[in-house]
Amino acid sequence: MNKTSLVKRVLCALIATMMVWGLVPPLTVGAATTHNINAGNVIISTNGDHIINGSGTSTTNTITVNNGVTSNITLNNVNIDVRNTVNTAAFNMGAQQST
Contact 51, 74 (CB under 8 A): yes
Question: In this predicted model, what pLDDT tens digit does every residue of 28-68 receive, in sequence order?
Answer: 567 899 999 999 999 999 999 999 999 999 999 999 999 99
- Of residues 18 and 57, more confidence is placed in 57
Residue 17, SS3?
helix
Among the listed residues 30, 32, 29, 28, the one whose alpha carbon sits nearest the alpha carbon of residue 76: 32
Give CA–CA dist 82/92, Å, rounded. 12
DSSP 55: -
Question: In this predicted model, what pLDDT tens digit does every residue of 48-59 receive, in sequence order?
Answer: 999 999 999 999
pTM value > 0.75: no
